[in-house]
């Protein structure tokens, strides 16, 4: 009986649901001090003077750090703040509430500078410069090219041009960022709401000149991250430095508004495109420019580039040239948000397919059918090699399973009763998994097994999935396996949970560790049995005799046989490419313009599905975030650079009330990856696929009232719908 493939309930949930899971803010240490940051109210300003004298008069205040206190407290590099919410100074107080009073007493003199908030404004030669040292606001500019796009455009029967604008999104994890750091004179320990404890450890050690061995980073339970906690932030290093200097534990917890400004934002990409197609609907060339509104610092490296390189999507397009440009503006820095470049690429190419289909008067299914890649592996025009799959067969199967045609007929019927219902779908290929991952597996003396993973789950349920994988590999009951994660004291190094890489990279490392442990134990079993054994169902067998894995372990501990009982495996993972089709049904309210998602269906080929319950959970949560991009969420700044949507009253994060009914399918004939787990990632797939499916559905609904309308941006707000319907 294998565990992989079964919908096993999450072992993590007992603690989470009973409120016993420990998050960083649950950690209270004797003598705890509380840190806070003075943040710029201006989007762009020179910092002339920071005066702590009034704050330091408060008895509760222990210390204040600012420019002049050396690294890492050199806030506002170049004497300038570049976005509203950028830290200017740090205060440490004994009382968590008086801290806020102290922060108000720090007097900062600013000289406001003109702010630039729009990428097209920022590109003008006379635009204010976010970073003077660059000489322009363009911080990155790279061209991806393949084939002969100019000739292909010339030879095309139709050339279609357009622009699509994706809004800025605030990742809004339920748990805001924060950190606790404590120094006992020997070891500096940091508990952080992060995806990257190994990086936190390295950055802190480097900043303070400490040996790695004396710095320990712990990722306690984390209440969501969605990519926004995969950078080491200045606050983490500053809090650790304060704890080190003051030799006392220090805690910082972001408020919601602070988190909205000081945690990276996502998306904010614009594509200008020009594509050529033949009369029969083959896309011959795709060209254009992807602009990233990078915000005040270029932390989101690679976002525009991934969008450019993945722009051809699952379609066989042989000629292309896409420029990836990142532009600095006076906003919160942009970085990864669930999908990080692939949702943008997918939304762009799916909109392009629809645009070309409209120009040619072609059906939206048919144009995709004609362009899908026929043979895998496939190297796309920008050099990305998609590994396994059968896109044509999976596409046809998915349309049937999702009931696309039936749902459209149903929408037609309902239209006769006055309901405005639209049906849309999207096709995607995306890139998951990269880099190495580490697993340490120990056989305990009682025959149970402890797995230490370098993965850093923060909601995905990986402890459950890894236990399934290891239980299968060792052929022991899952109860015998306990998984620990999130501590640099467990495992020396690793990358962590991001890029839908965990089950594939970290799971494969766990498989390798289990195989290595079996090899070790086989040596010991041979010594006990006197013949070379085979391993079956938890037993080593040969010569008509057998010994259980637990007995072998016990014998080793008693010194009767030799084997290494703790093994480490490091697995290097090449990227792998999930493929799928998602479908959305929406209803428009003509009075209010509000769009209600009624139904969401998905069909994904992610190779081996380790735990269909966990994978389906990823699809549902991920899809709601993609729906939110299509319909609800947007970070809005006013002309002065104030973040208007600075809390959850103004920034519309959907809840269960907005969620549609879901039907989640995984391919009956999956195409496994080449990794030991056979998996491809599912963590971001639905976020990638949902937005284009919903946009198509809304456009389909609107065209029932106003034929020919075209959606060329997200989100589609109620106001947009209301105006378009009129």
Positions touching ligand MCN (CB under 6 A) are: 173, 224-227, 338, 458-462, 465, 497-504, 606-611, 614-615, 618, 621, 679-684
Cβ closest to ligand MCN, residue 262 vs residue 610: 610
Closest to ligand MCN by CB, 488 vs 502, is: 502
Shortest distance, CB of residue 527 to ligand MCN, whole angstroms? 37
Nearer to ligand MCN, 225 or 421 (CB): 225
Enumerate the β-bridge partners of residue 46: 80, 111
Bridge partners, 143 (sequence order): 323
d(CA 512, CA 436): 13
Tell me the C-alpha distance between 653 and 516, whole Å. Answer: 46
Is the Cα torsion angle 544, 548, 554, 557 positive or negative in sign? positive
Is residue 85 within 8 Å of residue 40, measured between CB atoms? yes
Q: Is 359 helix (H, G, I), strand (E, B) or coil?
A: helix
Nearer Cβ to ligand MCN, position 330 or 497? 497
Question: What's the closest the beta carbon of residue 671 comes to ligand MCN, in angstroms?
Answer: 11
Neighbours of 430 (CB within 10 A): 29
Closest CB 337 distance from ligand MCN, rounded Å: 7
Nearer to ligand MCN, 105 or 501 (CB): 501
CB of 575 to ligand MCN, least distance (A): 12
Q: How far, rounded to the nearest angstrom, does the alpha carbon of residue 265 sit from its chain's CA centroid?
A: 12
Nearer to ligand MCN, 81 or 451 (CB): 451
What is the rounded distance in angstroms from the CA atom of residue 635 to the CA atom of residue 162? 24
For ligand MCN, which is the closer residue by CB, 309 or 502? 502
Q: How far is the CB of 325 from ligand MCN (least distance, A)?
A: 24
The first and second tokens of residue 643, run together, are 């973040």
Beta carbon of residue 263, minimum distance to ligand MCN (angstroms, whole number): 12
CA distance 482 to 488: 17
d(CA 598, CA 594): 12
Nearest approach, Cβ of residue 2 and ligand MCN (Å): 13
Of 269, 241, 406, whose CA–CA distance to 349 is shortest?
A: 269
C-alpha–C-alpha distance, residues 552 and 545, integer Å: 13
252: three-class secondary structure by DSSP: strand
Residue 682, classed as helix, strand or coil, is: coil
User: At closest approach, how far in Å is the CB of 411 from ligand MCN?
Assistant: 31
Q: Report the phi/psi class of residue 302: left, alpha or beta, with left for phi > 0 and alpha for psi in -120 to 50.
A: left
State which residue has the least CB distance to ligand MCN.
459
Query: Does residue 177 contact residue 35 with C-beta atoms inside 8 Å?
Result: no
Report in angstroms how near the CB of residue 442 gets to ligand MCN at its nearest: 22
To the nearest 10°, the Cα dihedral for 515, 516, 518, 521? 180
**Least CB distance to ligand MCN at residue 34 (A):** 26
**DSSP 8-state assignment for residue 248:** S
User: How many whole angstroms separate alpha carbon 32 and alpha carbon 242?
Assistant: 12
Find the shortest distance in angstroms from Cβ 86 to ligand MCN: 24
Q: Which is nearer to ligand MCN, 2 or 726 (CB)?
A: 2
Compute the least distance from the CB of residue 573 to ligand MCN, in Å: 11
**Is residue 455 within 8 Å of 494, Cβ to Cβ?**
yes
Nearer CB in complex with ligand MCN: 287/433: 433
Q: Which C-beta is closer to ligand MCN: that of 2 or that of 416?
A: 2
Shortest distance (Å) from residue 401 CB to ligand MCN: 18
- DSSP H helical ranges for 530-635: 549-557, 612-631
Cβ proximity to ligand MCN, 73 vs 226, nearer residue: 226
Point out which residues pair with 221 in neighbouring strands.
23
Compare residues 137 and 629 and give the one whose CB is closer to ligand MCN: 629
First-last CA distance in the chain: 60
Question: Of the two residues 225 and 567, which places its CB atom closer to ligand MCN in the complex?
Answer: 225
User: In angstroms, what CA-CA distances link 419 with 408, 596, 611, 640, 704?
Assistant: 13, 12, 38, 42, 10
- If the CB atoms of residues 590 and 617 are measured against ligand MCN, the closer one turns out to be 617
Closest approach, Cβ 222 to ligand MCN, in A, equals 8
CB of 548 to ligand MCN, least distance (A): 28
* CA gap 15, 190 in Å, rounded: 22
What are the structure tokens assigned to 210, written together?
A: 């400490």
User: Is residue 184 exposed (0-12), middle (13-18) or buried (19+ Cβ within 10 Å)?
Assistant: exposed
**What residue spans of 156-277 are helical by DSSP H?**
197-208, 234-246, 256-262
Q: Which is nearer to ligand MCN, 116 or 609 (CB)?
A: 609
The CA–CA distances, whole Å, from 414 to 269, 271, 403, 411, 587 equal: 36, 35, 16, 5, 10
Question: Could you give the 3-state DSSP secondary structure of residue 288?
Answer: strand
Closest listed residue to residue 590, CA positions, set 488, 706, 503, 499: 706
């Amino acid at each position: 009986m294998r565990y992989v493939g079964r919908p096993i309930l999450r072992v993590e949930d007992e603690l989470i649901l009973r409120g016993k899971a420990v998050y960083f803010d649950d950690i209270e240490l004797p003598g705890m001090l509380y840190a806070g940051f003075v943040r710029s109210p201006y989007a762009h300003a020179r910092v002339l003077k920071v005066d702590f004298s009034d704050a330091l008069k408060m008895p509760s205040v222990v210390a204040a750090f600012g420019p002049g206190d050396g690294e890492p407290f050199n806030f506002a590099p170049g004497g300038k703040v570049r976005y509203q919410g950028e830290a200017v100074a740090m205060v440490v107080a004994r009382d968590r509430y008086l801290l806020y009073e102290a922060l108000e007493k720090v007097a900062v003199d600013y000289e406001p500078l003109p702010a630039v908030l729009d990428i097209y404004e920022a590109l003008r030669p006379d635009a204010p410069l976010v970073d003077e040292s660059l000489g322009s606001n363009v911080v990155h500019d790279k061209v991806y090219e393949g084939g002969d796009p100019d000739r292909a455009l010339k030879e095309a029967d139709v050339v279609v041009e357009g622009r699509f604008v994706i809004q800025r999104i605030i990742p809004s994890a339920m748990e805001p960022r924060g950190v606790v750091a404590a120094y006992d004179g020997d070891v500096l320990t940091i508990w952080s709401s992060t995806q990257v404890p190994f990086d936190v450890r390295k950055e802190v050690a480097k900043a303070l000149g400490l040996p790695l061995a004396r710095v320990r980073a712990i990722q306690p339970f984390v209440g969501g991250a969605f990519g926004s906690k995969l950078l080491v932030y200045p606050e983490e290093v500053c809090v650790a430095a304060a704890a080190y200097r003051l030799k006392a534990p220090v805690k910082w917890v972001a408020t919601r508004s602070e988190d909205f400004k000081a945690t990276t934002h996502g998306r904010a990409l614009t594509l200008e495109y020009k594509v050529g197609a033949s009369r029969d609907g083959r896309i011959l060339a795709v060209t254009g420019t992807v602009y990233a509104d990078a915000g005040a610092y270029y932390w989101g490296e690679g976002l525009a580039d991934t969008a450019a390189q993945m722009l051809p999507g699952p379609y066989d397009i042989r000629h292309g040239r896409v420029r990836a440009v990142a532009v600095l503006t006076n906003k919160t820095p942009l970085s990864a948000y669930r999908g990080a470049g692939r949702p943008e690429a997918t939304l762009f190419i799916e909109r392009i397919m629809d645009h070309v289909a409209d120009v040619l008067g072609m059906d939206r299914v048919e144009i995709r059918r004609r362009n899908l890649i026929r043979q895998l592996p496939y190297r796309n025009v920008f050099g990305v090699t998609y590994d396994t799959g059968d896109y044509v067969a999976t596409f046809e199967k998915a349309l049937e399973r999702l009931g696309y045609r039936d749902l459209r007929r149903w929408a037609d019927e309902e239209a006769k009763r006055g309901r405005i219902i639209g049906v849309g779908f999207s096709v995607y290929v995306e890139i998951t998994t990269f880099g190495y991952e580490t697993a340490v597996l120990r056989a305990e003396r009682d025959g149970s097994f402890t797995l230490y993973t370098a993965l850093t789950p923060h909601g995905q349920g990986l402890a459950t999935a890894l236990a399934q994988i290891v239980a299968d590999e060792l052929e022991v009951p899952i109860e015998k396996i306990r998984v620990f994660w999130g501590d640099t004291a467990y495992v020396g190094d690793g990358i962590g949970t991001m890029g839908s890489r965990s089950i594939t990279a970290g799971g494969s490392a766990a498989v390798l560790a289990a195989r290595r442990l079996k090899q070790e134990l086989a040596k010991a079993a041979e010594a006990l049995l006197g013949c070379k054994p085979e391993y079956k169902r938890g037993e080593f067998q040969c010569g008509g005799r057998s010994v259980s894995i637990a007995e072998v372990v016990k014998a080793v501990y008693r010194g009767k046989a030799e084997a290494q009982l703790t093994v480490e495996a490091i697995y290097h993972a090449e990227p792998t490419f999930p493929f799928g089709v998602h479908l959305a049904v929406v209803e428009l309210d003509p009075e209010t313009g509000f769009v209600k998602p009624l139904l969401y269906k998905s069909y994904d080929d992610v190779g081996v599905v380790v735990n269909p319950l966990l994978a389906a959970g990823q699809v549902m949560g991920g899809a709601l975030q993609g729906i939110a991009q299509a319909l609800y969420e947007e970070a809005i700044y006013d002309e002065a650079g104030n973040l208007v949507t600075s809390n959850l009253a103004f920034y519309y994060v959907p809840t269960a009330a907005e969620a549609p009914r879901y039907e989640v399918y995984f391919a009956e004939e999956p195409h496994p990856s080449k990794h030991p787990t056979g998996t491809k990632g599912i963590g971001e797939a639905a976020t990638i696929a949902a937005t284009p499916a919903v946009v198509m559905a809304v456009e389909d609904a609107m065209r029932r009232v106003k034929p020919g309308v075209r959606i060329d941006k997200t989100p589609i707000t109620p106001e947009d719908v209301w105006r378009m319907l009129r």
